[in-house]
Every structure is written in C-alpha cells, then in structure tokens.
Amino acid sequence: MNNFSYIQADKAKEATTAKRDDKSAAFIAGGTTLLDLMKLNVENHDQLIDVNMLPFRGIEMTKNGLRIGALERMSDVGEHPLVVQNFPAVSQSLLLAASAQLRNMASIGGNVLQRTRCGYFRDTAFPCNKREPGTGCPAIEGDNRNLAILGTSDACIATSYPGDLSVALVALDAVLTLENAKGKQREVPITKFYLLPGSTPQKETVLEDDELIVAVTIPQTAAAQKSMYLKVRERTSYAYALASAAVGLEVQGGVIRAAKVALGGVGAQPWRSPEAEKMLVGKAPSEAVFRAAAEAALRGAKPREHNAFKVEMAQNTLVRALSEVAA
Amino acid sequence: METNQTKNAPTNVVGKPMDRVDGPAKVTGAARYSAEISVPGTVYGVLKTSTIAKGRITSIDTTRAAKEPGILNIFTHQNLPKPAKTPKQVEKWRAAQSYLPMQDDQVQYAGQPVALVVAATLEAATQAAALIQVTYQAEAPIDSFHDPKAELFDPQKIQQGKKDSHVVRGNPQQAYDGAAIKHEATYVHAINHHSPMEPAATLAVWEGADKLTVYESSQNVTMHQGALADLLGMPREQIRVVTKYIGGGFGCKGSFWPHTILTVLAAKAVNRPVKLVLTRQQMFTGVGHREDQEQTLKMGATADGKLVSLVHTKRATTSPWDNYTESNGKILDMLYACPNYSTTYELARANVMTSVWMRAPGEAPGSFALESSLDDVANQLGIDPLEIRLRNYADHDYSNNKPWSSKSLKQCYTRGAELFGWDKRNAKPGQNRKGRVLVGHGMATASYPVHSSQGTARVRLFADGHAVVEAGATDLGTGTYTVMTQVSADALGLPPEKIRFELGDTRLPTAPGSGGSVAAGTVASSIMAAAEDVWDKVVKMAVADKKSPLYKAKPADVKVELGRMFLIKDPKKGETLLATLGRSGQPDIEGSGTGKYGAGYEEKNFGQNGADENNDKKEKVSGGHSMHSFGAHFCEVEVDPDLGTVRITRWVGVHGVGTVLNLKTATSQMTGGAIYGIGAALMEDTFRDPNYARYTNADLAGYHVPVNADIPDIKVEFVPETDPYINYLGVKGIGELGMVGVAAAVGNAIFNATGRRMRSLPITPDKVLEALRQPA
C-alpha cells in the first residue's frame, strides 16, 4: 500500500471538490473494498477523503419509495423493519453478503461500487484489461469459474460487480442520487448506472470523478413486497454467488401483473432480464412459465471452459426463486 | 519399581474434559504468538516474490524502493549473504524444499522470493517491496502433470528417498483379472493449502556472530534448530528456537521453508533482530501445499464382496527438484483383508514449489479412492456398506502380516451405526426426498498409523507442592499444554493448577514436534519416564528416612500411584512423595527420562519380537505389532438437485484411540478433523492458472474453508480401548485420524442421495449439476 494523505470531509462539497481537484483521490466510507485493493496495490490513491461524517444517513419511506442514505451500513439496512417488510429481496441480499464484520463496516454507497473478485484483476502479477487497459485478459483462457457469461466482451469477462445488493436494486428499479462538486444532484436509475465492459472495462459506472452517491431510493411496489433474493455458492457464508437471483412478482387473479427479475454472479454487471420479465407478465405462474423465463434470461449466455455450469445453475436459481415468491 | 510399561494406574485428571490451561491467556491476548513477539531493536522484513513462474531475473531496480523511510537494506540474490550450505547439501534436517531461492537469477515457481526488504517499520518495508522493479526473461512454465509439456516419470523413491515408488504384495494384476467383480475408477484431488489462521512467522535475533535465537511459528523446534545449524554451519547448541503458541499448522509448519533462513541471513547482515511474517497470499507459495493428484484404483472382489485385489496408481505434480508425493497407498495396503495389492507413483515436474504433508497426508486422499470404490462395489452387489466392511475386516495387518497392537474398529462401527441410526438408511440411491432436496447417508472407515517416536522430558517437583514439567514439544492449539498438565498432575499426585508445563523451546529437553500424530503419546511417555525418575529418587529417600512409613522397605516392593508411595503388599503403608521430600529439607527434586512411542516402546518393553512374557497370550510375533488407530464416520447430506449444493446435516464419528488424555480437547480435535475433511470434500480448491502456473484465488475469500454455517452438530465418541504396546499410557495419536475417510463418507452419502458417484474433490455445485445431467 502506498503512502497517502487523509482528510475528513465535514460537508459534501468539501469532499467532492477535493476529489475533483485530485484525480488520484478516492472517497472512503467503510473501506472494505478500497483498503483491500490498496493493500494489493490494485488501487493506488495518494489521498483518501473520508466521507463518513457527511449527513447521508437515514432509512425512511418517501413518496418515491424507500430512501436509504448512502452511508448507512449493510447490517443496519438489512435488518431495518421497513426493508425487511417491504423489500425482502434487498434485506436478504444484504444479510447473505460477506460476513457480519464486513456488513457492520460496509456502506450502501460503497457496496454499489464494489469491484470484481476476478483473481486476475486482484493480482498485479497478471495482465488485466480492467486494471491496466490494453494488457489482455488471461481469465478468458484461465480461471473463469467465477466469472460472467452475460454481457462480457473480448476485453473482460469479469462479474464487474460481484456482490448481492445491486442485484436486488437492479431488479427493483432503484434510483441512485448522485451529487457533484458543484453541489448539483442528479438521479440515475441503477439499471443505467453500470456500464458493460466493451473495449473499456476500466470504466465501470457512469459516476463522474467528482460525484458521490448520496442516497438510494427503491420504489415501493407490490412486486417489491413479494420479492426474494436467492444465492447459490458452495460455502454457506462469506462467499460470493456462483449464481443468484433477485425476483419480485405481483400476482392478481392468478395472473402475473408485474415481474422483476435480475441475476447475480453471471453478468458483467448486475443483470436485469427484461426478456424473462416479458415471458412472465400476463401468464399464470407455473413451473413451465418460470422455466421459459429462465431460458429467456440466459439466452445470450457465452460460457467459457470453467463456467458453463452457470447457465443451468442460473436458470434453476431463477426458477427456484420465482417458485418461492409465487408460492 | 515396576517396569516401564502401560499401567492401568488410577487417574484423577487424565481423561477428564479439563478446560484448556492456555485458554485464559489466549482469550485475553496474553499469549504471544511468534509474530507478536518483539525484542528491542526489532526491524521488519518483507518479501518481494516473483510474478513469473519460470525464467530469469534480468534486472532489479531498487532506486524508488530505497527512498522509503527507514530502509536498512534491500536484499536480492546479488547481495544476500550465502548460507554455509544449501538445503540440498543438508542430510539430516532437510528442508521440505531442496531449492533455496535468492541464490541466483533463476525463477522456478510463481511466488518465489526474489528480494527481501528490511526496514524500521512494516509499512515502509511493505511499500518498498512493492516499489522494487524486477524485470524478467520469462519462459513458458509447466503448470501441472496435466500440462502437455509435462512428463510423467517413475521417481523410484518418494518423500526424500524414504519410500519406494512401487510396492507389490501378492499377485495383484492376476488376481484382479480373475476377480468376479472388477471395479476401476479414477479419483481427482484438487490442490489444497493448509491455511492455518496464524501465518508463518520468523523473528531472528543474533546475539553476537555465533549465537542465534529464532522465534518461529514451528510445529517442531528441534527440526528448525537442526536445519538452521546445518545451513549456517553452526553447532546446534548455539541456536535457540522458540515457539510458545501456534495458531494452527496442519503440517505446513512442520518443515523448514525458505523464509526462515532468508530472514536469519538478513538479520545477520543488518545486525538487527528481523521479523518477517508471510502475508496471506504468500502463505500459498511459501509453506507447501497438498499436491494436485489423480489416483486410479482397480478393485477386484468376489461375488460376495470380499476383496481379492487392489491395484492402485497415483499421478501427481511435483516441483522441479524434489520427489515429494503423499503416500496414498499405505492405507489401501492395510485397511482391509485383501491378499493382493500394489501401488505405483508417477510424478511430473512443474513450476510449483515442493508440496508437503498436509493433515493425514496419504491417508486422506488414499481413503477417498478406497472407500468410494468399496461403496460402489457394495452398491453393485446389494450389500450394506457397513456389512461389506465387516466382510473385509482385517483381523491382522495384511501389509506386514503382523497382529494389531489393538483394534476397536468393530466397536466403532457398531456404536457409530447406533448413534447415527444407520439401520434406517434407505439403501436404494435417490429415493430419500425431503421437500426439494435429496437426503443421503454414507459412511467410511478411518485409520491412521502410530509412527515410532521418542522424546525426553524433565520434571522438577518442589517441596511446597508445585512442579515444573518441561519438554521441547509444541502445541498447535490442539491442547498439548493441557493434556501434559493433566499427565504431570497425576504422575505427581498434584492438582493441575500446581503444574506448570513448559514447551516450545530448544533449551528444554528434546521432544518430537507436532506431526504425524506422535506428540501426545510421545511427550506423555517422556513425562512419565521423568516422573519415574523422581519417584525412584524419592522412594530411595523414603526407605532411608526413619520417619517414613516406608523406612527400610525395599524400593522394589514400593509402588507409586497419584503421587503416593506404598508397599505393593500392604498399600495402606505409605506416604506421598511430598511428605518425604518435605522432611528431607531439600527444596525440590528433579528427574528426567526418555519416553518412546510406537515400535520403539514395544521393543524396549516387550523385546525384539514384541512378545510380552507377562502377557496372557504369550504371543511370539516377528517384529512385533502393527499399530494403528481406527474409527468410523457416518454422514448425512442434503443435495439440492436443482442448485447442486450439498449440505452436511448430521455427522457421527466414533474412534478407538487408546487412552483419551482429555475428553474435551480430544473431542475438539476429532471434530476439527471432520471439519477439515469436509473442507477438502466440498470446497477447498486452489486454482493454478495453466498458462502462468500461478494461483488465482490465493486468499481466504477465494480459497474456501468451511465456516460455522457449513457445519452441523458433529457427534464424536471414543470407544474404550487399552493398548499395552504403544506407550506408557496407551495413548494413540488423534491429530490426523479424524480427517481420514471424511471425504469418502461425504461422497458416499451424496451417492446414496443422488445415485451419482462423485470422484473429483472438492464436490462443488457445478460438479454435482454435471453429474445429475448424466444418467444414474
């Protein structure tokens, strides 16, 4: 880890201005990803701007839905009654993630910006287009068991966001509130927040250099109320998803009125599947309908040597999750 | 005095589930692990390791690194002082890996040390190491025995020349060819890493040019001392190695590795104490691993399930220099009554460091092949898995034709089956559904040999009623401090809180390290031998003391139990050791002794032939007894056929291990063995990139070991067992036993649940889904 300077920002503007003026600076909240990557020399920042004192807190129901301050901790949000009752998929995605110690530290804003666990990205001895653009991607011919099968490119096959929360947020149409150094806020649907790798895998989100995530808002819907997050992995805790599904269904009169489907662990980004949703809406819930939706969701999959299993696993995960919320 | 042999002497605290004596020190942080020790003037060493797996270093630029604050020196192959000898030139205490890095510009494996920074702070040393620019001329490495560039060869000898690479008993191929039932299968074992919680650490302190103290995370301080003496060309007495606490080792701290000598050489050069702790990532390329391997087993049996032949071959990856491979065949040779057997080892050199013993080396992967194939044959013949094991029960050791010193395996089977409810198992695979999951039940046999060993101990009994007992053993965290306190307490008739047991220092009497499950049996015997020395001395004092009830008795007529001396013919006549000692005016009395474990103990006490003249059986056996501990594992799994996940829901392990010194620590150790085995069975897998021969998941987030949520309540029991031949207290080792057979029990349960045989470890969800796609 390189030497760095540290400042604690009391006001948002102080933080965003400092970030704007120093391209090598980084915000630090929980630090669970940042410090890890700095210790590995994957990220090298000469300045850390501590944003923990900023007032981006609170978990409250607003007219637009549940607003969660970006600095709330994963464990607090996951266990909050408003989240548990109205957004089960969000609560489950948080509580199935990481370990208790990490959940107590990690912030919601930081979680959304969590970086890939691809072993090649995390080890500077390897080439990596995400870490060092243009050096190549050894994962394509190497250890790709944990990597993506949807939305990948010849430059990068990482599950760029490896976590759980954003899968639920993407399914439930959450909106991120961002604030820049001018003090201007903008709202970005999380479905538009992440970028596919294409030829620029180093550019992972639409966040500008001087922008800070200040809040996440999740619309309150019937489908969100009836949602769940299912995570598959060989170790029951403290392991990333091999495949996961965040689903929500609104069923009225025996017919699916609204469907929310997203997959984790398989996409280059948290993978919303309008294809699957299209197969569900207007149909009576049944195993066959769920199966057809799952097949639609994985239709464009491009598996590699060690991750071909993810096609079937993701489909089955999705079918299982849909069956459970419909039950 | 009685002869030195197993006595059924009364006990006060031996066997009791006593709390760990080092528990309070550990939970309060008072216990200092090797990396936590500092002496005045300590500076910090950090290794820079190679990014390539094969090639040579063309330049090393330390300009930027040297500008970090407080850098004392940056060592590379160009300026690191050379040791007096290389590990290759050392005979007795040979390092596990004969290749020592940083001697020239060659790179032979990824993660090989190429530079060592010494700085005033850990932070500066760490950052300086990152700033060193090393340029390489890289060559395409060989990643494993699977690599097209790799060539399998017959090593002739494996494990530093100790074992043959080809062993034959009877006519295995002919017997297999003629067998009614022929079963052939290939089993795969992933690369595993020991991954103890405490990383490897060295603090090297030179006190002048010819006196060295090393605080090392070592499972064997004697070995570390010997290896350092050899490499440095120094007398052993000039080197002290200290290891007071270990946070797990599982074998990786039982060998000598490069970081230790590199730290010692650097410390001498900078003339300061240097502390070096491997990072978690460096633990994957610094202290060995369990090698990637493949076994093919041909199992021939009669139509009623009796084994007639086992033809076993193993292929594995080894390093460019050494022929280490686990001897998987050992357990196939002895576990059942099979008249014909062979094993053959083939190795291929790759650009990896030398692998090394890891908990139950050989027995763990070997039993996976044997016990899985046997389960297949049982299923094929419609014989219950427990029944087929009874039909093949070995009433003596077929590998050497010797009788067992003791064997309680039948009792383990019976008790385990009862605790588990084995009779309720549905023998037909894939029939037991619980909601969405398939439930399965499997079992397997465990066994581990008693390796011959010996050690010394010192006992000092003070007249005020306390004692200091010393042996240069180590405590991996498994309970050596505690059980030896118990043994000492009963030997002297003192309460355990009056005993201070010291270990982990080469200044103490030489004892074996913790490895091969020899520590408890050997050190306990050594303490008893030392205690007997004290008894002898005090008895002599008593018989000469007018005030003693034993005055004028013949020492030979006196027996000592729980610290009390008495006449064998009139037990009421006697007094405590302390009573005699107290009257003598002597403040303390010291005794020392040598204890033996295994074959050496038998030979000493029962003669060359192992025949005990006082034994009722009066058996005359050439070369004595075969000595093993045995046990049985029973496992219930739930397999989700859609998601491929496997959950262990119940576990029963019943073992026969001779005398149990502490029911609590022994139960914990056997529970830990099951958990370690479950890790290997279901999740542990280090991935080595085929093009770079470099690990891609070298940390504890990427390399999965079980967490609490993976482990159900594990029920462990011991069956009563007395073994007079193995050591003074009849103690068998338990460190490895608990893991043997675990992976097979899991695989067998998965077969029972799904009808699919999993032959590749770890059994991860992807492999389960793949198997379920195939017809049953």
User: What are B482-499's pLDDT values in tens digits?
Assistant: 999 999 999 999 999 999
Residue A83 resides in a domain: no
The 10s digit of each residue's pLDDT in B418-427 is: 999 999 999 9
Q: Is the pLDDT of residue B258 over 70?
A: yes
Pick from B281, B645, B647: CB nearest A232: B645
According to the model, what pLDDT value does residue A50 have?
98
A40 found inside a domain:
yes
Q: What is the mean pLDDT of residues B492-512?
A: 97
Residue in A119, A235, A317 nearest the CB of B706: A235
B736 is catalytic: yes
Q: Mark yes or no for CB contact B696/A239 under 8 Å.
A: no
Whether residue B387 is predicted with pLDDT greater than 80 in this model: the reply is yes
**Given a cut of 70, is residue B705 above it in pLDDT?**
yes
Residue B403 clears pLDDT 50, i.e. is over it: yes
Mean pLDDT value across residues B694-717: 97
Query: How far off is chain B from A280, nearest CA to CA, in Å?
Result: 20
Reported ipTM: 0.97
Mean pLDDT of B671-688: 98
Q: Is residue A45 part of a domain?
A: yes
Out of B184, B590, B736, B770, which one is annotated catalytic?
B736
- Taking only the tens place, the pLDDT of each residue in B289-344 is 999 999 999 999 999 999 999 999 999 999 999 999 999 999 999 999 999 999 99
Establish if A46 belongs to a structural domain: yes
Q: Which of residues 197-216 of A touch B (CB under 8 A)?
A: none
Does A233 fall in a domain?
yes
> Which pLDDT belongs to residue B621?
47
Q: What percent of chain B has pLDDT over 90?
A: 93
Q: How confident is the model at residue B1 (pLDDT cuts 50, 70, 90)?
A: very low
| Count: domains in chain A | 2
CATH number of the domain at A251, please.
Answer: 3.30.390.50
Rg (CA), chain A: 19
Give A240-280 pLDDT, tens digit per residue: 999 999 999 999 999 999 999 999 999 999 999 999 999 99
Domains of chain B and CATH, by start = 23-31+452-606 (3.30.365.10), 362-450+628-773 (3.30.365.10)
CB contact under 8 A, B769 and A232: no
Report the pLDDT value the prediction gives residue B693, as an integer from 0 to 100: 98
Best mutation target among A39, A102, A144, A235 (most B Cβ atoms within 10 Å) is A235
- What is the mean predicted confidence (pLDDT) over B694-699? 98
Q: Which residues of chain A have pLDDT under 70?
A: none
Q: What is the pLDDT of residue B3?
A: 39
Q: What pLDDT, in 10s, does the model give residues A33-56? A: 999 999 999 999 999 999 999 999
Contacts of B709 in chain A (CB under 8 A): 236-237
A204 is a domain residue:
no
Parent domain of A7: 1-50
The model's confidence at residue B614, banded by pLDDT at 50, 70 and 90, is very low
Confidence of residue B608 (pLDDT cuts 50, 70, 90): low
Which pLDDT band holds residue B93 (cuts at 50, 70, 90)? confident
The per-residue pLDDT for B685 is 98
Of the pLDDT bands very low, low, confident and very high (cuts 50, 70, 90), residue B4 is very low
pLDDT value of position B161: 79
Looking at every residue in chain B, the average pLDDT score rounds to 95
CATH of the domain at A21: 3.30.43.10
Answer whether residue B469 shows pLDDT above 80: yes
pLDDT band at B89 (very low <50, low <70, confident <90, very high): confident
Residue B188 pLDDT class (50, 70, 90 cuts)? very high
Closest partner residue to B765 (CB to CB) among A141, A234, A240 is A234
Please name the residues in contact with B509: beta carbons below 8 A apart, sequence gap of 6 or more.
B455, B456, B457, B458, B470, B471, B472, B526, B530, B592
What local confidence, expressed as pLDDT, does residue B619 receive? 47
- In angstroms, what separates the C-alpha of B766 from chain A's closest C-alpha? 6
- Chain B residues with CB under 8 Å of A239 CB are 701, 704
Query: What would the pLDDT profile of B617-646 be if each residue is shown by its tens digit?
Result: 444 444 699 999 999 999 999 999 999 999
Contact B263, B201 (CB under 8 A): no
Last residue of a domain, one of A13, A35, A50: A50
Q: What is the pLDDT of residue B618?
A: 42
State residue B613's pLDDT score.
45
Q: Is B697 on the interface with A (CB under 8 A)?
A: yes
Q: Residue B604 — pLDDT band, cuts 50, 70, 90?
A: confident
